C-alpha cells in the first residue's frame, strides 16, 4: 500500500504550501514550518531522528530540526515532497510500512489544526491500510492504561489493548482511531464508552509511542 504513503505525502506538501509556514497544527507548539522540518529530519538525518523516541538524544534532534526549519519554506516543502531514495524510512522497501500512517496523521495535523475542517472520505482500501497499523499502535499507546480497552472499527475489525481492569470501548473509523491513538484525541471523531472519569482520562492522556 505504498501508494497511500505517496499520495498523502503529496497532499500534505500541497497543503503546506497553501496554508503557509505559520499555520497552526495539531502538534502542540508547532507551526506548519516546524512540522515540515520534523519530516525532513526524520527522513534525511537518521542521527537526529533517533531523538524522536530516545530521550537522551532529543537535544540533538531539536537542534537539527530547528536548523532545518530555518531554511526557506518552499525549499523545505520540496524536501518533504520528494524523499531521498536512500532514506531508512522512505526507501521503496520501507515506505509503506513507515509512512502510510505517518503522512496520513501529519496531513490531518495540518488540516485539523485550522477551524472548519471536516473528516475526509477515505477509500475502503486506505482505511484497511490504516487499520492494520492502528492495531499495532493501540497496543503501545494504551499499554499503561489501567483498563481493558476494546477498540472497534465497524466493518474493519476490532482489537484489544490496555492493562486490564475497567472495561472501556473505543469506536470509530480506522483513520479516526489512528488520530486518537497517536495523541490527537480532541480532533478525532471517536466514541468513548467508559465511566466519566475514564472517559475524561482517555480524552486528555498523553497517548502515542
Task: Answer whether residue 117 is part of any domain.
Answer: no
User: Does the pLDDT value for residue 4 go beyond 80?
Assistant: yes
User: Does the pLDDT value for residue 1 go beyond 60?
Assistant: no
The answer to whether residues 90 and 9 belong to one domain is: yes
In this prediction, residue 93 carries a pLDDT of 94
User: Mean pLDDT over residues 174-190, rounded?
Assistant: 97
Dist CA 151 CA 47 (whole Å): 35
| Per-residue model confidence as pLDDT tens digits over 96-139 | 999 999 999 999 999 999 999 999 999 999 999 999 999 999 99
pLDDT band at 209 (very low <50, low <70, confident <90, very high): low
Task: Answer whether residue 169 is part of any domain.
Answer: yes
The answer to whether residues 91 and 131 belong to one domain is: no
Task: Give me the DSSP letters along 157-201.
Answer: EEEEESSSSEEEEEE--HHHHHHHHTT-GGG---EEES-HHHHHH
Question: Model's pTM, two decimal places?
Answer: 0.94
The answer to whether residues 99 and 130 belong to one domain is: no
* CATH number, position 197: 3.30.1050
In this prediction, residue 54 carries a pLDDT of 74
pLDDT band at 16 (very low <50, low <70, confident <90, very high): very high
In this prediction, residue 176 carries a pLDDT of 98
For residue 6, CA distances in Å to 92, 95, 205, 206 come to 11, 8, 31, 28
The answer to whether residues 104 and 133 belong to one domain is: no
For residue 28, CA distances in Å to 31, 34, 35, 113 come to 9, 10, 10, 10
The average confidence (pLDDT) of the chain is: 93
User: Mean pLDDT over residues 133-153, rounded?
Assistant: 94
| Per-residue model confidence as pLDDT tens digits over 30-77 | 999 999 999 999 999 988 777 677 777 788 888 988 999 999 999 999
Dist CA 53 CA 56 (whole Å): 9
Q: How many residues comprise the chain?
A: 209
Rg, C-alpha atoms of the chain: 17
- Considering its fold, how many domains does the chain have in total? 2
Q: Which of 48, 78, 111 is the last residue of a domain?
A: 111
Question: Domain of 97?
Answer: 2-111
The answer to whether residues 107 and 7 belong to one domain is: yes
Task: Give me the DSSP letters along 6-70.
Answer: HHHHHHHHHHHHHH-TT-B-SSTT-BHHHHHHHHHHHHH-HHHHGGGT-GGGHHHHHHHHHHHHT
Q: In what order do the strands lie in the sheet with 147-153?
A: 157-161, 147-153, 166-171, 191-193
Q: Which of 111, 146, 167 is the last residue of a domain?
A: 111
User: Mean pLDDT over residues 155-168, rounded?
Assistant: 93
Amino acid at each position: 500500500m505504498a501508494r497511500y504513503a505517496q499520495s498523502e505525502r503529496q497532499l500534505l506538501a500541497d497543503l503546506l504550501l497553501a496554508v503557509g509556514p505559520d499555520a497552526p497544527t495539531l502538534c502542540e507548539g508547532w507551526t506548519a514550518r516546524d512540522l515540515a522540518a520534523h519530516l525532513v529530519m526524520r527522513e534525511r538525518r537518521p542521527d537526529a531522528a533517533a531523538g524522536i523516541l530516545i530521550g537522551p538524544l532529543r537535544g540533538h534532534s531539536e537542534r537539527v530540526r530547528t536548523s532545518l526549519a530555518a531554511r526557506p519554506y518552499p525549499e523545505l516543502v520540496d524536501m518533504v515532497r520528494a524523499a531521498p531514495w536512500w532514506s531508512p524510512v522512505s526507501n521503496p522497501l520501507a515506505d509503506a510500512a513507515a509512512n502510510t500512517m505517518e503522512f496520513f496523521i501529519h496531513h490531518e495535523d495540518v488540516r485539523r489544526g485550522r477551524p472548519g475542517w471536516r473528516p475526509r472520505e477515505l477509500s475502503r482500501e486506505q482505511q484497511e491500510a490504516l487499520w492494520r497499523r492502528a492495531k499495532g499502535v493501540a497496543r503501545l499507546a494504551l499499554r499503561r492504561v489501567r483498563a481493558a480497552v476494546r477498540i472497534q472499527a465497524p466493518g474493519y475489525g476490532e482489537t484489544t489493548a490496555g492493562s486490564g481492569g475497567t472495561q472501556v470501548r473505543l469506536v470509530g473509523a480506522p483513520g479516526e482511531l489512528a488520530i486518537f491513538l497517536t495523541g490527537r484525541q480532541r480532533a478525532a471523531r471517536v466514541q468513548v464508552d467508559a465511566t466519566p472519569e475514564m472517559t475524561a482520562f482517555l480524552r486528555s492522556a498523553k497517548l502515542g509511542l
